[in-house]
Structure 1
Amino acid sequence: MASGTGAKAAPKVAAASLPIARVAVDVSPPHLDRPFDYLVPERLAEQAVPGVRVRVRFNGKLTDGFLLERRAESDFTGRLAWLERVVSSEPVLCPELLDLSRSVAARYGGTLSDVLRLVIPPRHARAEKRATAASAEPPTRPPSKAWARYRHGGALLDAVHEERVARAVWQALPGEQWPHRLAEAAAAAASAGRGALLVVPDHRDVQRVQSACAEVMGEEHVVALSADLGPEERYRRWLAVFRGTVRVVVGTRAAMFAPVRDLGLVAVWDDGDELHSYPVAPYPHARDVLTHRAHATGASLLVGGFVRTAEAALLVESGWAQEVVAARETVRAAAPRVTAIGEDDVQLARDPAARAARLPSVAFEAARAALGAGAPVLVQVPRRGYVPALACGDCRERARCRRCSGPLALPGATSEGGAQPAACRWCGAAEAGFRCPSCGSRRLRAITIGAARTAEELGRSFRQVPVRTSGGGDVLASVPSGPSLVVSTPGAEPTVDGGYGAALLLDGRTLLARPELRAAEEALRLWFAAASMVRPAQDGGRVVVMADSSLQPVQALVRWDPAWFGAMELAGREELGFPPAKRVAAVDGAPDAVDGFLDVLRLPETGEVLGPVPLGEGDDEDGSERERALIRSDRVEGRALAAALHEAAAVRGTRKETERVRVRVDPLDMV
């Protein structure tokens, strides 16, 4: 019956059974990070089931949310609002995803709403209504002879197939076809009727691993999830995984939350790549999320790469994971010959080859030999940039603060034109009487990360050879196997059938001198990624790295022993109180906002504050001055630290503080 002008709407009646809906409302303020109760009208009683998307009225506005549970009574003594609408009947927030979201929020000091935005993609009605085909029969387990080259490699795949828990840190051999090894590990799980989740750094890696999985198992058993998919296609694939249609998922960091049914294996490749860290709150890292999922679900864990991060070394040292490595003789047979050339300015000035193209003669010889053999040559060049960092003027050891071991830097000139003393970029303490702990020198030397060598400069010395560039907005996926010079920025190296004949790793001091906690680890990761593309030494493969051979990262490359460096790096972090031995949080914002945050922060027993210090850059929104404070605590109090950070943010929210403060737990960049 049509209502007239003065007609009244029929009164709402609450559901007869479990009339209370507990809802996670999509609001960001930390002080509102809790579920809210709503009345369920009788007309929505059948649709309003746990896990569905709903619309509720919050603060006078219709807001999205997820229904967490139905209850008979509410603890709220005031008047409850009504559940307005059930957006979809698909219960996308299953109990496992809800538990995962809560755990991630607790670890990083974030809110449940922030995590749920990362866990569940936006709804697309057309994709949701499309029929889902039945899941395919489990694939046949393929042979995996290549894994036999690694100690415990075969046992790892047997355990995955037999549904026994296995946790491994895998150091891949140089030249390894790692996408196929990951595909074989996933097939071991899928052949037993269980799911597998493989997380890789970027879309190029996704394509390679997806192709390998399709080759090993068949296309119907694998799906790729990445941010470059359109909204409909991404949600369609996500639903296929959620409904159990597909058992194997390959993706970038967004896939770490993929709702894979009956997880048997979670794997992350190259866990040191910064792309594994989500750039939005609460900034979760794929390795840590997958480690938690493996522990919570009883799935096997595989952390793989050509190098070993300090975090992966901790998993091995603690006994929580087993290392999967090849014997030394197997490594030597697969590795190229590595030569380190120091970047001493006087030495290079006397070298005519260096004057021509900033390359020492040994690098020219390696390049010419490879080109003469009909193989391409890879030239890795660091990105452009500038960082005013300091090192010892004699031994070139990075200059660090005596108080907190943070990097020293020159803050700049005073208003009167005089130079200020060196100061720590973490705690802000001035260092007027520097003394190098390695050699005793009192001299300091500026380290400038300047413009990278260009392909044009190198091309002058190789006029008859094609020069290709890869980096920035033009990244090559692969190059032909014939003679050519491939100039690439780190991480953009194209693949080539048969491998490169040589790799020239330029400006090693530039990578090692970055004033960051992970500078040495990152330099080694980038070097190994490039060197692993080079042919074995017995086939003429050669790697030349322009860096001092006495440095630990360079020694690890020359000896091809990244596990040794990972253990040394972990020991150094433990001695100095750096992650992963300690839990550290960075608090960024305007000076008044950071001070206000620290005033209300209740630190755990082992907590301490370093700084705050100026960041030397303007805020992205208004160009105002920004500061950073570092808060660290013992690892066993990591959850307590995260809870304290969340509480402090909630207190600021209740006080209606308008200045934005960014809190990031275990940041990759601590400078």
Structure 2
Amino acid sequence: MARGPRGGVRNRGEWQPAAVLPVARVVVDVALAHLDRPFDYRVPGHLDELAVPGVRLRVRFAGRLVDGYLLERAADSEHTGTLAWVEKVVSAEPVLTPEVAALCRAVADRSAGVMADVLRLAVPPRHARVEAEAVGELAAPPPVTAPAAPGWARYVRGPALLDALAGGRTAHAVWQALPGESWTERLAEAAAATVAAGRGALLVVPDQRDVDALHAACAARLGAEAVVALTAELGPAERYRRWLAVRRGRVRVVVGTRSAAFAPVAELGLLAIWDDGDDLHGEPRAPYPHVRDVLLLRARTAGAALLVAGFARTAEGQLLVESGWAREVVAERHTVRAAMPRVTPVGETDGQLVRDPQARAARLPKIAFEAAREGLAGGRPVLVQVPRAGYVPWLSCGSCRETARCRHCAGPLGLPGRRGAPDAATDAALPTCRWCGRAEAAFRCPACGSRRLRAGVIGSGRTAEELGRAFPGTVVRASGGGSPVLATVAGGAEIVVATPGAEPRTPGGYGAALLLDGWALLARPDLRVVEETLRRWLGAAALVVPHTDGGRVVVMAEAGEPVVQALVRWDPAGHAATELASRTEVGFPPAVRMAAVEGSAAALEELLDELPETVEVLGPVEIEVAPGPGAPDEPRERALLRVPRTEGRALAATLHAAQASRTARKSADPVRVRLDPIEIG
């Protein structure tokens, strides 16, 4: 009898089902909502030993071969017809663990998405050469003792958190890091305590710089072989090699970015996310899960501890505390005051305005120059945070600061010329509309009648140039905003101009920080604008030395703004509580569950008609679509759906059913569905 590969029978008509558990339940790689369920297939006898739960398969679906994962083997099937065969076991490596499979199903259900889309985020593509590499003997992890962690003693409930991790107990906490805190060391200590209890730890951070810093801290405490970093920058082969090391149980601690939230860490004891308000934690691909939500779901299913950490606190983090699901780990007020720099806003006192009457209008008032000079005189670098990149992104009225707009199309006015390469001719050129390209020879503000123009937000390039002239002989470095993002800078008297999130660390801390154009950050039309502004300010101010060492932070924003007062007092928890109360009052997330649905007018109307009356519909309204290849021909609309937080799962199920109905009818008019973050119950 002719035999095929791996000893299989070449002729399919001669195949016989496996003697034991001949049915394979397979999730197929088909991203259609009405097909979002496992399908049963027959396991041929020659694939019996290879077809174990978690392996990649090839099966025939709707007449074509598709990829899939084997979820489980069963003795029989509820399907009354003849089952198709499993055509091929792509690899004998069981890459999908039961725990990760259950997590992917939960994430898809919570996001009104399809499990196949989540699996693409969770399991990296296969590399046969990497799988074939010799694995050797699986060595037992070296013994680790619970570390002495005096740094956690500065926080109320900090030692109790480490004791729970070292004892293998479940703990949910929201940790507010002190200014100047070595958060990488604290998280490494938490991971070491978890490993000492014989369990694994998964630590997720926003970007590569944070991964490098946290990986180094964990490796110094646990050894280089005990921790692995998982990021997209590794390349497909190396990333798969490290991912397999985790899957095979060689590594107990994983540090990574967004996709690492699904890493198959064995015996999970700790899940941690740093700076959960960072946009990089949100997945830009369907079904758009947020790392915080993935870890919340995983903490429940795996019985692991969860640590939400950062210098700032989001409204979602505050909800975890107020609901009783998590405890806050914070320092006493006297400890916070001792660790923080002195924060000075514009117009803090009448005396400040008497000495500098133009302080509110000036981009760099006298107090900012004084703080910078004092920091440089002390031999420390000075950090300057600029909200935007480039040279002069846009123009505004010189009197009331309203955005300067074109009289013909209402588009924003800007200066012509190449960004970052200004010259005298460019500076003297007429303002030009960025939408229609018309030059505006005679600007007049419709709000106040002024004819004066000013740079609305001067970018980091222009700021670095101005500071170089203001401080001759001082080195001025740029980080972000078109320049390479610096991980660290050496301590010394120099100026570092950085965009938010690109602030480099320095060994001894900054002597001062200037937070420019605060009004521009607060003027953005976004639900989270105040929360995001405070997060960016705290992230920069936390790098400054304490006020006892001369550390100063000058924020260019009105002192009376609540967000400025939260920075002055260093009270992110109080600000988060106020923000959550405000959103609860007006019915905004995370106090309620909301979903955004986008599509053509006809498709949106069809989907909205299938929703129950209990769902509150806001809109729809027409939305702008960027022109270019692939842009839809007809206008797009968006509607917001709102339900009480306790009905969030029902809303997700309803939206999934509506999408399934559309895909079953083979509708070619897609509707995008995106649910807001956070689910506790």
- The two structures have a TM-score, normalised by structure 2, of 0.85
CA deviation after TM superposition for structure 1 residue 451, in Å: 4.6
Q: What SS does structure 2 have at the residue aligned with 1:228?
A: helix
| Letter in structure 2 aligned against 1:332 | R
Correspondence 1:463 to 2:468: no
- Mapping 1:197-346, distance limit 5 Å: 197-341=202-346
- Does residue 581 in structure 1 map to residue 591 in structure 2? yes
Q: How does 1:156-555 map to 2 (within 5 A)?
A: 156-341=161-346, 358-383=363-388, 450-453=457-460, 454=462, 455-473=464-482, 474-555=484-565
- Shifted more, 557-566 versus 67-76: the winner is 67-76
| C-alpha contact 2:23 2:41 (8 A) present in aligned 1 | yes
Shift of the alpha carbon at 1:384?
5.2
1:617 aligns with 2:622: no
Question: Structure 1 residues 83, 275: closer, same or farther in 2, change over 3 A?
Answer: same
Structure 1's 596 and 342: CA in aligned 2 closer, same or farther, altered over 3 A? Answer: farther
Name the amino acid aligned to 1:122. P
Equivalent residue, structure 2, for 1:593: 603
Q: State the Cα distance separating 1:67 from its structure 2 match.
A: 1.1
Structure 1 residue 550, shift from structure 2 partner: 1.4
Task: Please state if 1:150 is matched with 2:152.
Answer: no
Give the stretch that moved more between structures: 118-127 or 12-21.
12-21
Q: Is the 8 A contact 2:346 2:359 kept in 1?
A: no
Equivalent residue number for residue 404 of structure 1: none
TM alignment of 1:631-650, pairs within 5 A? 631-650=641-660
1:113 & 1:374 partners in 2: Cα distance? Answer: 55
Q: For 1:456, what is the secondary structure of its paired residue?
A: helix
**1:652 counterpart = 2:662:** yes
In structure 1, what is the equivalent of residue 414 of structure 2? none
1:425 is aligned to none
Relative distance call for 1:654 and 1:517 in structure 2 (3 A) is: same
Counterpart CA distance in 1 for 2:658 and 2:320 is 31
Instruction: Indicate if the aligned counterparts of 1:469 and 1:486 stay in contact, CA closer than 8 A.
Output: yes
Partners of 1:573 and 1:580 within 8 A in 2: yes
Residue 611 of structure 1 and its aligned partner are, at CA, apart by 1.0
Secondary structure in 1 aligned to 2:565? helix
The offset of 1:53, in angstroms, is 0.8
- What stretches of structure 1 of length at least 5 have no aligned partner? 399-408, 418-442
Q: Deviations over 1:272-326 (max 9, x none)?
A: 1111111111111111111222222221111110011101101111111111111
Matched length: 620
Equivalent residue runs for 1:28-43 within 5 Å: 28-43=31-46
Which residue matches 2:572?
Answer: 562
Structure 1 letter corresponding to 2:282: S
Matched, 1:121 2:124: yes
- 8 Å Cα contact 1:584/1:632 also seen in 2: yes
CA separation of 1:336/1:38 partners in 2, compared to 1, >3 Å: closer, same or farther? Answer: same
SS across alignment from 2:577: helix
CA contact (8 A) 1:534 1:541 kept: yes
Structure 2 counterpart of 1:88: 91
1:619, 1:612 → 2: CA distance? 21
Q: Could you say if the C-alpha distance between residues 83 and 315 of structure 1 is closer, same or farther in structure 2, counting changes exceeding 3 Å?
A: same
Taking the aligned partners of 1:535 and 1:190, their CA distance within structure 2 comes to: 33
- After TM superposition, give the deviation of residue 32 of structure 1 in Å: 1.3
What is the DSSP-based 3-state SS (H/G/I as helix, E as strand, rest coil) of the residue aligned with 2:232? coil
The CA distance in 1 between the partners of 2:66 and 2:448, in whole Å, is: 57
C-alpha distance 187-458 of structure 1, shift in aligned 2 (>3 A): same
User: SS at the partner of 1:65?
Assistant: strand
**For residues 567-623 of structure 1, what are the alpha-carbon distances to aligned partners after superposition, in whole Å with 9 as ceiling and x for unaligned?**
101101111111111111111223333233223x32373x21111112223366533
For 2:256 and 2:515, locate their aligned partners in 1 and report how far apart those are by CA, in whole Å: 29
State the TM-score, normalized to the length of structure 1: 0.87
Q: Deviations over 1:337-394 (max 9, x none)?
A: 0011169xxx899867898x83111101111111111111101001259999x9xx99
In structure 2, the CA distance between the partners of 1:527 and 1:114, relative to structure 1 (3 Å rule), is same
1:163 match: secondary structure = coil
Q: Percent identity?
A: 59
Q: Distance in 2 between matches of 1:448 and 1:21?
A: 65
Equivalent residue of 1:98, what SS? Answer: helix
Q: Is the 8 A contact 2:111 2:675 kept in 1?
A: yes
The residue identity in structure 2 corresponding to 1:469 is A
- Partner Cα distance (1:314, 1:2) in 2: 65
Q: Does the 8 Å CA contact 1:310/1:580 hold for their aligned counterparts?
A: yes
Q: CA RMSD in A?
A: 3.1
CA distance in 1, matches of 2:405, 2:495: 40
Check 1:502–1:8 CA distance in 2 against 1; reply closer, same or farther (3 A cut): closer
Q: Helix, strand or coil for the counterpart of 1:93? A: coil
CA shift, 1:335, in A, is: 0.4
**1:79 is matched with which residue?**
82
Deviations for 1:154-175, whole angstroms, at most 9, x for unmatched residues?
1110111011221111100100
Supply the distance in 1 between the matched residues of 2:319 and 2:93 (Cα, whole angstroms): 40
**Which of these residues, 1, 11, 14, is aligned with residue 11 of structure 1?**
14
User: In structure 1, the residue corresponding to 2:175 is in which secondary structure?
Assistant: strand
Tell whether 2:23 aligns with 1:20.
yes
Asked if the contact 1:198–1:268 (Cα under 8 Å) also holds between the matched residues in 2, the reply is yes
Q: 1:457 to 1:410 in 2, by over 3 A?
A: closer
CA deviation map 1:8-63 (0-9, x unaligned) = 76522222332222210001111111112222212112221221110011122211
* Distance change >3 Å, CA 515–CA 11, structure 1 → 2: same
